[in-house]
Amino acid sequence: MAEDFRASQARDWPELHDRVKATLDQFGKIDPVGDGDYWLVDDDWGLFRQQVEFHTLKMLRPQVIQELQDILANFSDWEITVRMDLFDRLGKWPGMGLFVRSDEIIDELRRDVLPPEFSTMTFVRKKI
């Protein structure tokens, strides 16, 4: 069974990685060190997870998160983590982000440090 688990993860990871990148490319520019809008971690750690870092607040929109969740409709074992990594552009930032799954969005954003236009933003899971 463990072999099936690893085979499934190894088979799905590249496909999901490509889909996540194609989706995020519609909204911003990829760059690993913060000169762009986001970074999609391209290391496969053997987990059922794609890891995204947002470098700008413009990426933190319900439409972007909803499209990421839509990718997971046929991959219910997977999640996409979204970490806010703003490179101190707006001052000191605590660790925060979202866990996007096919059936839920776990919101770990710190509303007390977000600008007012983001402090009331909510992410609603799409009914599947």
Alpha helices (runs of H) in 1-128, residue ranges in sequence order: 2-25, 62-71, 116-119
69-115, pLDDT tens digit by residue? 999 998 989 999 999 987 665 566 788 999 999 999 999 999 888 88
Range of the domain at 96: 2-119
Question: Rounded distance, CA 127 to CA 113, Å?
Answer: 30
Residue 6: inside a domain? yes
Residue 14: inside a domain? yes
Residue 32 CB neighbours (<10 A): 13
40-61, pLDDT tens digit by residue? 999 888 889 999 999 989 999 9
Residue 92: inside a domain? yes
Please give the average per-residue pLDDT across 32-37, as a whole number: 84
Residue 127: inside a domain? no
Residue 128: inside a domain? no
Q: pLDDT class for 127, splitting at 50, 70, 90?
A: low
Residue 86: inside a domain? yes
Residue 29: inside a domain? yes
Q: pTM of the prediction?
A: 0.88
Residue 97: inside a domain? yes
How many domains does the chain fold into?
1
